[in-house]
Structure 1
Amino acid sequence: MKLFLLSSLQTTGATIAEKLRLDGLSGRVLFLTTASEGEEGDISWLNEDRQPLVDAGLDVVDYTITNKSEEEIRSVLSEIGAICVAGGNTYYLLDQSRKTGFDKIIAEFVNKGLPYIGSSAGALIAGPTIQTTLDDSRVTPDLEDYTGFNLCSLSVRPHWGSEYFAERYKEEYLRLYNLKLPMILLSDNDYVEVDENGFKIFST
């Protein structure tokens, strides 16, 4: 098992791409864009997050699980070398993961050795719960169970210290504190590497 959990690929992507190569990456990197479908307005940040992987020479292909069957998802995952679950609305990503069975499928593939890169929402959902998200839950009014993918026991909070998210942090600080969850606060320059032996935090 190998996970890379981070806030932004714009600052960490080149380093992670090199680590994947050193680990013997073979095949394409599936860039999962589903979470961005739950966002409104400009999503140019999605292209900016993908670009460092492309610039590093990786074969990156976009994909969404929305409206896909379990069979389709399994077929695609069986043909890739790694998956990158990109950012966006965490509630929307979890909702689509439940509807398609992706939450169970991705756990199966990661436990068999598929490297998982989680950026922002993709990092947050990899843990036991998405309760630490600051995203708007109104996009999925019927979603009541906030259990994450449970790929690891870590709850991360992306974009710590980012000016863009500063106001939302102020508004949600007390709620996050009252969750009483152990959290790793990740700046946009940080990433966590997780494997069977534990985890390490790096800064680029």
Structure 2
Amino acid sequence: MSLGMVLLGVLAERPAHGYDLKRAHDDRFPSARRLAYGQVYATLARLERDALVELAETTRGAGPDRAVYAITDKGRAELLAWLDAVESPGPYPAEELVRKTITSLHLGADADGFLVHQRAAHLAAMRRLTLDRAEAPELGARLAIDHALAHLDADLRWLEETRDRVARETTGTGGRQVAERTGGDR
């Protein structure tokens, strides 16, 4: 996801300052990592440099001055082009989960133990997200959580299928650890 495009999407609704942009992002994508203010302001600086946003006004309050940004016509055109572009579907062959499992297998490490612990972590994350979804005030936030849940569910199925496959296709104690390899795949 392009953070710049998401911020442009917020600014397309109304001019805003960095605090509002951070809050809007975090509210819209509750399953994502919270943005740091520095990340928001660095992105705004790039958007301003590229003439996609402009400084609309500076407001004074009790604290430091706040810069209010607005989307430009060029920014609106870039945003609409981004929204119209189709995303490339997977595959995702080398996510960290897959890397750890395959590395464990090659080293003869406890791949089964890793898969069991990872499954428990996925289930816990799914329970938390399900609770968050029930409390999410807006449709967009619920949709973002649904997306995260679908990915976790797919990972969970992969974890379970992989655990079964490793048990079937490996030799060694307990049938769940891979024997040391001396040659290529058999």
TM-score, normalised by the number of residues in structure 1: 0.22
Greater strand share, 1 or 2?
1
Which structure's CA Rg is the greater one?
Answer: 2
Whose RCO is larger (CA < 8 A, sep 6+)?
A: 1
